[in-house]
Amino acid sequence: MLNGLDVDFLLTNDDGIEAEGLVSLVQAIAQVGTFVVVAPDTVRSCCSHAVTTAEALSIHRLDAKRWKVSGTPADCVRVAIKHLKIRPKWVLSGVNEGGNLGVDIHYSGTVAGAREATLMGFRAIAVSQYLRRDRPRNWPLSALRAIHAWTHLRLIELQEDQFWNVNLPVVDHSNVELPIAPCEPEPQMLAYEFAPIEDQIESGVSSDLQIIKYTSNYQLRPRLESYDVDKCFGGNITASRLSVRLP
């Protein structure tokens, strides 16, 4: 256990400590300030705000600045602050592989990492990269855009119960300083279905057992004007101010 470590940034995610989005953010943030990484040891996508209480957690120190934890993003923030005694000025969760727009915030482990930090009294931003299958990914560029968003948002006062949810757009140029659009999350859900796995049909699996898979088309999701989906799909970095306050 550490005696205490003051840093500018605590980094986490829900794609796992080896994810390209986090690795690129680490490389970029090193030019901005001091940091440590406490992230899941494997992919924990769509885990929402799950925390581990009944099982033991393993914490593996990889080097002087990185730990991997056998838990969720919320677990990682808890371990970093309560056990490792890390004291960050900001907690950055991401850069997530895929958007966390609209009602996605309820399912997102990335958003939960920032929410948990806020609950514990630290300023936080969740950052996600909206993806399209027909466009290449550029994680170093995503990381620079994430820092650009943080540079802008850190100057805006947050209430104690608030944090930022940021989504980066897909655009055809390499400009870092994209417009930042403050906006509310899209209230309409992404349409989805469950499709049977073809192998079970071909192999004649018993009708008492069904094997199905979630299917959707993210690009066709509803998008009311001026909400985060519309703004992000339109090429803006979206910034939604979220709250941990209960009704």
Q: What is the largest CA-CA distance in the chain?
A: 61
Average pLDDT, the chain: 94
Label residue 247 by pLDDT band (50, 70, 90): confident
Q: What is the pLDDT of residues 180-237, one digit of tens each?
A: 999 999 999 999 999 998 765 556 566 678 889 999 999 999 999 999 999 999 999 9
Q: Given phi > 0 = left and psi -120 to 50 = alpha, else beta, which region is 136?
A: beta
Please tell me the distance from the alpha carbon of residue 244 to that of residue 116, in angstroms, as a whole number.
9
What integer pLDDT is reported at residue 1 of this predicted model? 43
The enclosing H or E element of 11 equals strand 5-12
How big, in percent rounded to 5, are the helix, strand and coil portions of the chain?
Answer: 25, 30, 45
- Give me the domains of the chain, ranges plus CATH numbers: 5-184+223-243 (3.40.1210.10), 188-220 (no CATH)
Distance CA(87)–CA(81), nearest Å, equals: 6
Would you say residue 124 has pLDDT above 70? yes
Regarding beta strands 86-97 and 5-12, do their DSSP bridges make them parallel or antiparallel, or are they unpaired? parallel
Query: How far is residue 3's CA from residue 244's CA, in Å, rounded to a whole number?
Result: 29
**Looking at residue 224, what is its pLDDT?**
97
On the question of pLDDT at 33 being above 80, the answer is yes
CA–CA gap between residue 41 and residue 43 (Å, rounded) = 7
In this model, does residue 114 exceed pLDDT 70? yes
Q: What is the Cα–Cα distance from 26 to 202, expressed in whole angstroms?
A: 46
For residue 118, give both structure tokens: 């806020």
pLDDT of residue 130: 98
Those residues with Cβ within 8 angstroms of residue 49's Cβ, 6 or more apart along the chain or in another chain = 72, 74, 109, 112, 115, 116
What's the pLDDT tens digit per position in 138-169? 999 999 999 999 999 999 999 999 999 999 99
Residue 183: count other Cβ atoms within 10 Å of its Cβ.
20
Taking the C-alpha atoms of residue 136 and residue 157, their distance in angstroms, rounded to an integer, is: 35
8 A C-beta contact, residue 242 and residue 116? no
- How far, in Å, CA of 241 to CA of 161, rounded? 10
Tokens standing for residue 153:
């948002």
Is pLDDT above 70 for 3? no
Per-residue pLDDT tens for 42-94? 999 999 999 999 999 999 999 999 999 999 999 999 999 999 999 999 999 99
